[in-house]
Structure 1
Amino acid sequence: MTRPGPRERLLAATSTLSYTEGVGVGLDAILRTADVARRSVYQHFGGKDNLLAETIGEASRADLDMIAERMDRAGTDPRARLLAFLDFYLDRSAQTYFRGCRFVAADLGLPDPEHPVHVRTRLHYERMRDFLMIELSALGHPDGAGAADRLQLIVEGMLAQRGTRPGAGPEAAARALFEQVLEER
């Protein structure tokens, strides 16, 4: 088996370290973990900011693909598909490695509104909302846009609570609130 190249090792190291230690993790720690020279960061990404942005972009693509797959396995019923969306996040937050939402943490850890990571996180949130809007429309929800906002807030709030208070167990409350929004008429 061949060893991944410097680009892949940088992305893997940045993904792990930026999640466990935050986006403020030092470049030297990333370089040590990836076992690459400093020039590799600049050759492949142009600098640490773009490395972080690409890492967040890859995490977003992976999560959104897994969500879409989970929703597709739920069938064609929009309610079942929306609950599959929620279940993805409930399952994610129950993992022992879970330390909160990577995207929220990245946004909070990078106060410069022009940082390239913010473009990637905004796109992630928009894609999440698109998933919700499509299914709420198919469900015939009377307030699709408002319901999508509420559902996203429920998910993000549950992830934040689970990440900051691991034993708090907000899953049941999140499911009850999520289902309540789905039943609005």
Structure 2
Amino acid sequence: MIRPAQRGPRERLVEAAERLTYREGAGVGIAALLKEANVARRSLYEHFGGKDELLAEVLRGAAAKDLDAYRAAMSAAGPDAARRILAIFDHLEAAVTAEGFRGCRYLGADLALQDPEHPAHAVAREYRAELHRLIQHELDRLGHAESADEAERIMFLIEGTLASAVTRPDARPARIAADLAAHILRLGPADASKRGRATSAP
């Protein structure tokens, strides 16, 4: 019987960092990471050059999985652009009510890592930019004149859901956010354009 290849130090480091940083935050110490991964300190530096790039790699993996999950939820909703956007909040409802949910990885990393040049910040920015592009694409299909701004508002609802689900889970923030997103979508291209002119008037 052929056994699967044992995971190497690199894979064990990533898996350990993924678990610990989500459970304890991005400020978890190197010693704890090495112990969890059962690897020597040398392996960390050989594969990642240090803890910073390991944390960035964990976020890259999480971002790829999260974006795939959003795309899958939107695809399952069918071709209608509005339904595809609202499906994001159905996905969030399931995510934030799942056992073990502890908040948004990207927000947690941004708050914990004070160095603005930390590579994890760039990963978080690109993740948010890609999610913004997915939403804006659907708003463009709906003909929203201010699709970039509307996508930003929906991003605000997504991130607010992830934050509120930690502190006020009983409020069901994903459902509240879905109602607000539906209101944004109901404004329609013409109404959105009028609102833009009204707010820009002296």
When Rg is computed on C-alpha atoms for both structures, the one with the higher figure is 2
Q: Deviations over 1:67-86 (max 9, x none)?
A: 11221222211112111222
Q: Aligned equivalents of 1:59 and 1:171: distance in 2?
A: 20
- Pairwise CA distance, 1:88: 1.9
Q: Aligned equivalents of 2:66 and 2:155: distance in 1?
A: 15
Residue 111 of structure 1: SS of its match in structure 2?
coil
Q: Say whether 1:97 aligns with 2:97.
A: no
Q: Aligned equivalents of 2:6 and 2:170: distance in 1?
A: 38
2:166 is aligned to 163
- Pairwise CA distance, 1:3: 2.4
Q: Aligned equivalents of 1:159 and 1:25: distance in 2?
A: 21
Residue 3 of structure 1: SS of its match in structure 2?
coil
Scaled by the length of structure 2, what TM-score is found? 0.88
Between stretches 160-169 and 47-56, larger displacement belongs to: 160-169
> Which residue of the other structure, out of 7, 11, 16, is the alignment partner of 2:10?
7
Q: Say whether 1:180 aligns with 2:183.
A: yes
Instruction: Tell me if structure 2 keeps the 8 A contact 1:101–1:163.
Output: no
2:124 is aligned to 121
Instruction: Tell me if structure 2 keeps the 8 A contact 1:70–1:85.
Output: yes
1:142 is aligned to 145
The unaligned stretches of length 5 or more in structure 1 are none
Instruction: Tell me if structure 2 keeps the 8 A contact 1:100–1:164.
Output: no
Q: Aligned equivalents of 1:175 and 1:72: distance in 2?
A: 17
> Which residue of the other structure, out of 63, 68, 73, is the alignment partner of 2:66?
63
Alignment size in residue pairs = 185
> Which residue of the other structure, out of 72, 80, 84, is the alignment partner of 1:81?
84
Q: Aligned equivalents of 1:164 and 1:6: distance in 2?
A: 36
2:191 is aligned to none
Residue 65 of structure 1: SS of its match in structure 2?
helix
What fraction of aligned residue pairs are identical, expressed as a percent?
Answer: 44
Scaled by the length of structure 1, what TM-score is found? 0.95
Amino acid at match of 2:44: V
Residue 171 of structure 2: SS of its match in structure 1?
coil
Instruction: Tell me if structure 2 keeps the 8 A contact 1:10–1:31.
Output: yes
